[in-house]
Amino acid sequence: MSEKLTIIDSEFIEQAFSFWFTDQKHIRSPFPTYTHSALKPAAIEKFEEWLANIHEDAKDEFNDEMIAEKFEEILFETGLTLIQTEDERLTILYPFLPRVSDKIKDDKQIENIIISRFLKEDGDDKFLEIKCINKSTKEEWITSFELPV
Give me the DSSP letters along 55-83: -GGGGGG--HHHHHHHHHHHHHHHHHTT-
**Cα pseudo-dihedral 117, 121, 122, 128, rounded to 10:** 30
DSSP 3-state assignment of 97? coil
Q: End-to-end CA distance of the chain, in Å?
A: 34
pLDDT score at 93: 94
pLDDT score at 5: 43
Q: How far apart are CA 80 and CA 57, in angstroms?
A: 31
Residue by residue, pLDDT tens for the chain (149 residues) are 444 444 455 678 888 999 999 998 889 999 999 999 999 999 999 999 998 888 888 777 888 788 889 999 999 999 999 999 999 999 999 999 999 999 998 888 889 999 999 999 999 999 999 999 999 999 999 999 999 87
Backbone φ and ψ of 105, nearest 5°: -105, 140
Contact call for residues 74 and 53 (beta carbons, < 8 A):
no
